[in-house]
């Protein structure tokens, strides 16, 4: 992999007046750009020889609602491995980024690759509105982004302006809401089943009781101690 620091320096020099941020972490370069400059910057990233990002590997949505917060905190668990005794909090109640409330709630992240220069790049862009997130479609730049943008629209409700066929791609035609948003209930709003009397699949209100599950925690007791004389670890 080519030097990530060199790529970051080139990006900062070329887009000095445009970049919101440019970071290098674990040898990975991430830039953040304003939505108004998305098309111009992405076109340059593809066409200019210094970058040559001719391939878009992935495009996905992100919901930063209550980012940095946790729904529950616990240091213990029950004998069965799970507990319903933890008080749940509404993570999605705050429709913004709790770590940085000045930033919009949603983001679109693009992963790019340059074969000629052996570079990889992550581009992040926040739509201006948290109530109605909308951003330009980059399909005219990377044609393969078509289904990726449809997926982000289906799961996060992010609208890609200029997309030629923006419709759901994973959920049902009559699906209500956007299941990857943080404020979408874990059990959903409705469930479907086959009705023998009507002879067809029907929808009905969800019957699953909402609850918070605490992951199982391995206890530090004699069953897992291996340093005792004459004893060996066992999976029993």
Q: Provide block-wise average pLDDT over 10 residues at a time, the chain (236 residues).
A: 85 96 95 97 97 97 84 55 49 60 89 95 96 96 97 97 95 86 85 90 83 61 60 50
For residue 182, give both structure tokens.
């943080």
Which pLDDT belongs to residue 119? 94
Which pLDDT belongs to residue 217? 60
Under a CB-based contact definition with an 8 Å cutoff, are residues 181 and 156 in contact? yes
Tell me the C-alpha to C-alpha distance, in Å, between residue 175 and each of 29, 168, 178. Answer: 37, 9, 8
Secondary structure tally for the chain: helices H, strands E: 3, 9
Q: Of 139, 114, 106, 164, which Cα lies nearest the Cα of 39?
A: 139
209 within domain boundaries: no
Distance of CA 189 to the CA centre of its chain: 21
Record the pTM.
Answer: 0.77
222 within domain boundaries: no
CATH number of the domain where residue 109 is located: 3.30.460.80
146 within domain boundaries: yes
Number of domains in the chain: 1
Under a CB-based contact definition with an 8 Å cutoff, are residues 40 and 33 in contact? no
Q: Of 88, 90, 106, 109, which Cα lies nearest the Cα of 184?
A: 90
For residue 108, give its domain range.
4-64+103-184
27 backbone φψ class: left, alpha, beta (φ>0; ψ -120 to 50): left
Strands 119-125 and 134-136: unpaired
47 within domain boundaries: yes
Under a CB-based contact definition with an 8 Å cutoff, are residues 182 and 50 in contact? no
């Amino acid at each position: 992999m080519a030097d990530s620091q060199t790529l970051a320096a080139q990006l900062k020099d070329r887009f000095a007046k445009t970049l919101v941020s440019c970071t290098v972490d674990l040898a990975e370069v991430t830039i953040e750009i304003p939505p108004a400059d998305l098309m111009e910057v992405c076109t340059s990233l593809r066409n200019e020889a210094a970058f040559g990002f001719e391939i878009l590997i992935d495009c996905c949505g992100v919901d930063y609602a209550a980012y940095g917060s946790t729904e529950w905190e616990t240091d213990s668990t029950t004998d069965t491995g799970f507990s319903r005794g933890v008080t749940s909090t509404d993570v999605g109640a705050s429709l913004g980024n709790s770590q940085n409330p000045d930033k919009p709630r949603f983001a679109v992240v693009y992963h790019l690759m340059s074969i000629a220069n052996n570079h990889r790049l992550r581009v992040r862009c926040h739509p201006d509105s948290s109530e109605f997130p909308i951003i330009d479609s980059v399909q005219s730049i990377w044609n393969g982004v078509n289904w990726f943008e449809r997926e982000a629209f289906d799961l996060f409700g992010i609208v890609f302006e200029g997309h030629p066929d923006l419709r759901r791609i994973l959920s049902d035609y009559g699906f209500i809401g956007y299941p990857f948003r943080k404020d979408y209930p874990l059990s959903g709003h409705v469930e479907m089943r086959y009705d023998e009397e009507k002879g067809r699949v029907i929808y009905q209100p969800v019957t699953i009781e909402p609850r918070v599950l605490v992951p199982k925690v391995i206890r530090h007791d004699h069953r897992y101690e291996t340093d005792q004389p004459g004893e060996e670890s066992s999976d029993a």
